[in-house]
Amino acid sequence: MQEIITNYDNLKESDITEVVRRVKILLVNSRKEILLGYSFHEYQLPGGHVEEGEELITAVNREITEETGMVLNLTDLKPFAKASGYYKDWPEVGKNRKIEIYYYKVLTDEKINLQNTHYTEHEKEGNFELRYIPLERIEEEIKSNAQLYGDKKGIAEEMLKLFKIYKNN
């Protein structure tokens, strides 16, 4: 598993006061299209926070269902990449957060079922929608969107690194 590390403040593990785990999923269909979420003018992979005591694979299944309506019941899946970000004084002064994001690849032709989704108020506010993007155009689409609307949270930059890892596997 390849790891992407972001640590601008050169924090050590002993400096970390809080660890947040997330999962993100590359849902790829047989036409070599990747399913992305789009809201607030940003692309993102389906996924989200791992709840307290929750296994990573359980979070993967839950997040796929919440954001796409697909029920896949995956049981034996390992991440192909991990991003670790170290953030000083975030979300407030005196707290140093480490965010671990585990990336999974899922090949499926299962159909989106919007009746089965559970979007957060924030996602609804941003007019969250799902878009299939051909793998051969994914980097161009993400770069173009980031140039047009900016990359305020660094999500586009992280996704571009991730797609390079994915294509080299």
Give yes or no for a contact between 13 and 84, defined as CB atoms under 8 angstroms apart: no
Give yes or no for a contact between 35 and 135, defined as CB atoms under 8 angstroms apart: no
**What are the structural domains, with CATH classification, of the chain?**
2-168 (3.90.79.10)
Question: Can you give the pLDDT at residue 53?
Answer: 96
Strands (E) across 8-134 are located at 18-28, 33-39, 42-44, 47-49, 81-87, 97-107, 129-134
Question: Can you give the pLDDT at residue 28?
Answer: 97
Tens of pLDDT along 77-99? 999 999 999 999 988 999 999 99
Question: Can you give the pLDDT at residue 153?
Answer: 83
Question: Can you give the pLDDT at residue 169?
Answer: 79
- pLDDT beneath 50, residues of the chain: none
Question: Can you give the pLDDT at residue 130?
Answer: 97
> Residue 78's Cα: distance from chain center in Å?
15
Question: Can you give the pLDDT at residue 152?
Answer: 81
Tens of pLDDT along 64-78? 999 999 999 999 999
